A and B are shown apart, each in its own frame.
Chain A
Amino acid sequence: MTDVRFSLNGEAAEVDVEPRELLLDTLRDRLSMTGAHAACEQGACGACTVLVGGASVRSCLMFTVQVNGAEVRTIEGVGSPGALHPIQQALSTHHGLQCGYCTPGMVLTALEMFEADPHPSRDEIVEWMSGNLCRCTGYINIVGALEALAGTAEAQS
């Protein structure tokens, strides 16, 4: 077992895990952060996306020991029901989610995108988001939500 310490949504976290334990399982089963979801467990779908050091990663492909000393951000650290993040608000306003299973991964990928570029074009949004799969929405309203947000003051916040 290996002692792993990292920052989780701004707070100190410490777990004692086998080297083979995946970050997704640690977050969900040990730390009760169940917003990252397992869907393909092969890195193909993006439902398990979290940010490590501000960069999106597939938590199903990362070992927990790899985040020792890192800053990890999950959907639980983005917005709250009383104070939705502008990305979350836009997705709701534009009906950019149905079952919601892929949604946390979408929000975190979009967060990384807007931090890198507050003014993405439609094509750039499509490029940024293309690693995240959704089976419900046909993507149309997700693109619409992010396009509406792009370039606004909120996207830069």
Chain B
Amino acid sequence: MTAVAPPVAPPETTTGTLRREDTRLLCGQGEYLGDVQRPDLKHIAILRSPLAHARIRDIDVSGALTLPGVIGAFTGAELAADTGTFNHHLEAIPTLRQINWSVLAVDKVRFVGEAVAAVVADSRYIAEDALELIEVDYEELPAVSDVEAALEGDSPQLYEDWGDNVFLYIPGPHGDTETAFANADGVLEEKFTHHRIIGLPLDGHGALGEFDPATGRLVLHASTQIPHFLRTVLAEITGLSEAKIRVVAPDMGGGFGNKVHMVREEALVAVLAMRVRHPVVWKQDRTESLTASVHSRQQVHNVEAAYRNDGRILGLRAEIIADVGSPELYVIGAGPAIVTTAIVPNCYDLQDYAFELRCVATNKAPMGAYRGYGQGQAVFLIERVLDLVGEKLGIDPVEMRRINMIPDEQRPYVTATGAVLDCGSFHDQLSDLLEGADYDAACRRRDEARTEDRLVGVGIAQMVEATAPNIHGLAGQFGVYEMAMLAVQPDGKVNVVVGTKSQGQGHETIFAKAAADELGISPDDVTVSDGDTGVLPYGSGTWGSRSVVMGGGAVIKAARQVRDKMVAIAAGLLDAPADQITVSDGFFRFGEAAIPFAQIASAAYLHTFLLPPGMDPGLSVIVGYDSFNTSPFPDERGKMNVAATYATAAAAAVVEVDPATGVVSVGDLTIVHDCGTVMNQVILDGQIHGAVMQAIGQTFFEELHYDENGQPLTTTLLDYAIPTFGDVVEPRIIHRETPSDLIGGYRGAGEGALIVVPAALAAAVHDALVPLGVPITQANLSPPRLRELLRGHSAA
């Protein structure tokens, strides 16, 4: 083989677009779940409970079957005969109520919107018409929608055999709070509340099932963040082996954590595809999304903080009550609340910390994951405590944080709950924040505004985020790892398949770059796929800010293995020692000699006689990649290292409150963000922008309302307001890059701003209201809630 001189390196990208996903999405050629078309596709419509709590006495579907175009109508009782049930896979937790549930409710409904029957018909129109013809005989039961009422002895009970409504109880006595409280100069007692909201991907859940009776194979297209996990669960429900099931997750119109759960309807679609022997589709409508999918955040915290007069927090006791609604959701909807308990110490040196967690069932839709996953509530708790204690002592918020922060010298630092923090300097990060936000000037402007009777406030907050977590402790299976396949094709072009699942984060672009950099080729020569269990044996999906950390690590590991084999081939062809071969710009080089990347590829497949003696043909690998540093479950002291690595951030906000309307305007927002090595800053900043807007929505706009009977009052996007163009807050973003010890040096990104910004906004609103003496202890600062608070204050 002749070595040729290398040409000039091609430009990094020739697509003309920033991301390779962009072109098809901009032209309406993305293929989202609702866009998957099949000949003879039948449509599923689901009858849902109008009552929050009732026994099902009887369901009569015969009327539906009389409608032309209806293929079948099904009840939970009928499907239960040959369909498996869901459970939480957490038999090991003795203080968790063990429950099983079916694809449709069988004998009882526990929230408005719970699925009770399904129709399959030629069109969605006919299927929805047919729902009107189903008769359900309900025996209505008293309902409870308030979490604190659900803890009262006389509350209606969702599960009669429990004796109460406590779904999960976890005590966490860490350190020695008794001594800490005995040594304290004072104790702060506060109650903090977090309201119920929803992640709300514009493209909701949905699934399309195809079953081939001849081969016994099922294909389920599903808008899911965790296609392989879903396959494992589908096998339990359908009785098929995993080898006979293929889950395909197409383009996704967002997920934000909502789609890290396997909703009943996904399994229902699989079961009905097997029953009716037609391809069938169910696409969640917005009312189903708002009333019967995955809600988030709702918690009540009763907190006692022991402090010394010098500002040091000595100990903390937190009673954390999570309103999980219906607990019938897998992966367990109590997960975020469990994570809340783990993250409370945040970036502070707080070893004497005890919590009691109660996850309480109420007659509302299931609670589950949303970007931030319980960490925002923890950060809110500790950051509010610091400000409120500081206010009592006359110590300013910056000083309170400096007094209590984990010293820079202690790395790794093991928190009270067992998190092994590998983060950079919190002191430097805070200094960057104060400088970036021009904090002192902001405080001066606030003071001037106060002299004009304007309610201006400045607030800061910090966070530590568990990124790339191990999910085993919450799911009873799975882990922290990721898998990737990399194949160099005979023409030198490369396929990468990864087990993460992009929901809009640009994975096709970033993973192509990661592989190309290792292989010394252009990203344009790399094609990235995800979301197909038929191609990669397993994968863990996208959630927990894990994709770059674990997916990126897996891709790089795979690329290095293939590169090593290509180097060995090149060494043979160039008659050179392998350790002196370099790889760049599409060439393997030894001194002046060079062989094109594509020639090595063709040797591996088409001219295998050129390979070193005994070398197997081909250039592909499937790798698993684990960080090997996480705990699958808590140890005997209740401690665990939940995540492969930890990201950090700090935020400063300046706000002005209009006391007449309760409207808060955000004048300035600064975020310092450390996710280790930055893979693509444009995409990263876009993630931060989106998370900031969701933080604005969570704090000032969004709330899911239920009345006292469990009737949902926010059932369309006309009732549930999310921010739009006029509400833009453009943050000033400052990146710090403290590499982790993992491949690539990555820490997770994507969620941090939604974890830290709500706490900074609350601090700023609190500061703005100092002249009125109205403390902020609630996450919901929407105009009506803030007006309520101000009215309550002026009435008092």
What residues make up the interface of A, taking CB atoms closer than 8 Å to B?
Answer: 18, 20-21, 25, 28-29, 32-42, 44-45, 47, 74-76, 78-81, 84, 88-89, 91-95, 97-104, 107, 125-127, 129-143
Contact = CB atoms under 8 A, between A and B. Distances in A.
B200 interface: yes
Interface stretch (B107-115, B395-403, B562-570, B690-698): B690-698
28 contacts: A18-B125, A20-B125, A28-B34, A34-B34, A35-B27, A36-B28, A40-B716, A42-B718, A75-B28, A81-B29, A84-B16, A89-B17, A93-B18, A97-B22, A99-B203, A99-B504, A100-B504, A101-B30, A101-B202, A101-B203, A101-B253, A126-B725, A133-B724, A136-B690, A139-B693, A140-B730, A141-B689, A143-B728
- The secondary-structure label for the interface of chain A is loop
Contacts of B727: 139
Contacts of B201: 99, 101, 135
Nearest to B251: A100
Contacts of B252: 99
B28 A33 contact: yes
B716 A42 contact: yes
Given A95-B686, A135-B202, A135-B694, A103 B505 contact: no
Contacts of B97: none
Given A95-B683, A100-B504, A35 B28 contact: yes
Interface of B: 16-19, 21-32, 34-35, 37, 124-125, 200-203, 251-254, 256, 283, 285-286, 503-506, 682-683, 685-687, 689-694, 716-718, 722-730
Contacts of B683: 95
A100 B689 contact: no
A103 B254 CA distance: 12
A137 B725 contact: no
Nearest to B41: A29
Nearest to B17: A92
B728 A140 contact: yes
Given A34-B28, A139-B728, 4 more contacts: A21-B125, A34-B35, A47-B202, A136-B686
Nearest to B753: A138
A45 to B, nearest CB: 6
Contacts of A18: 125
Given A28-B34, A44-B716, A93-B18, A101 B28 contact: no
A139 B694 CA distance: 11
Contact of B28 (A42, A74, A94): A74
Given A84-B23, A138-B692, A139-B724, A102 B202 contact: yes
A35 B202 contact: no
B309 to A, nearest CB: 42
Q: Which of A34, A89, A100, A107 has the most CB of B within 10 A?
A: A100
A100 B26 contact: yes
Candidate in A40, A74, A76 with the most chain B CB atoms within 10 angstroms: A40
B717 A44 contact: yes
B722 A133 contact: yes
Contacts of B124: 25
A136 B34 contact: no
A92 to B, nearest CB: 4
Nearest to B685: A95
Nearest to B199: A135
Nearest to A18: B125
Nearest to A102: B202
B23 A81 contact: yes
A91 to B, nearest CB: 6
A57 B252 CA distance: 24
A20 B125 CA distance: 9
Please provide the 6 A-B residue pairs with the shortest distance between their CB atoms, ordered closest to farther. Answer: A35-B28, A99-B504, A101-B253, A100-B25, A138-B693, A75-B28
B41 to A, nearest CB: 9
Nearest to B202: A39
Given A45-B202, A126-B725, A39 B23 contact: no
Contacts of B691: 138
B253 A42 contact: no
Nearest to B204: A39
A35 B29 contact: yes
Nearest to B283: A38
Contacts of A102: 202, 253
Chain B CB count within 10 A is highest, among A18, A102, A141, for A141
A40 B717 contact: yes
A39 B26 contact: no
A130 B727 CA distance: 9
Contacts of A84: 16-17, 23, 26-27
A99 B503 contact: yes
A104 B35 CA distance: 14
A141 B692 CA distance: 13
A107 B25 CA distance: 11
A95 B19 contact: yes
B715 to A, nearest CB: 10
A40 B722 CA distance: 12
Contacts of B18: 92-95
A56 to B, nearest CB: 14
A137 B27 contact: no
B686 A98 contact: yes
Contacts of A99: 25, 201-203, 251-254, 503-504
A126 B728 contact: yes
Contacts of B125: 18, 20-21
Contacts of B724: 130-133, 139
Contacts of B19: 92, 95
A104 B34 CA distance: 15
A40 B27 contact: no
Contacts of A36: 28
Contacts of B26: 79, 84, 88, 91-92, 97, 100, 103-104, 107
A1 to B, nearest CB: 13
Interface centre among A78, A80, A103 (most CB of B within 10 A): A103
A29 B202 CA distance: 19
Given A41-B285, A92-B23, A126-B728, A140 B716 contact: no
A38 B722 CA distance: 17
B200 A135 contact: yes
A79 B22 contact: no
A104 B22 CA distance: 11
Nearest to A85: B26
Contacts of B728: 126, 138-140, 143
B527 to A, nearest CB: 15
Contacts of A35: 27-29
Task: Pick from B252, B716, B728 the residue with the most CB of A within 10 Å.
Answer: B728
B725 A143 contact: yes
B725 A136 contact: no
Contacts of A91: 22, 26
A37 B203 contact: yes
A135 B687 CA distance: 11
Contacts of B22: 91-92, 97, 100
Nearest to B689: A138
Given A18-B125, A140-B730, A41 B689 contact: no
Contact of B27 (A88, A94, A125, A139): A88
A89 B27 CA distance: 10
A102 B264 CA distance: 26
A47 to B, nearest CB: 6
Given A99-B504, A101-B203, A143-B725, A135 B17 contact: no
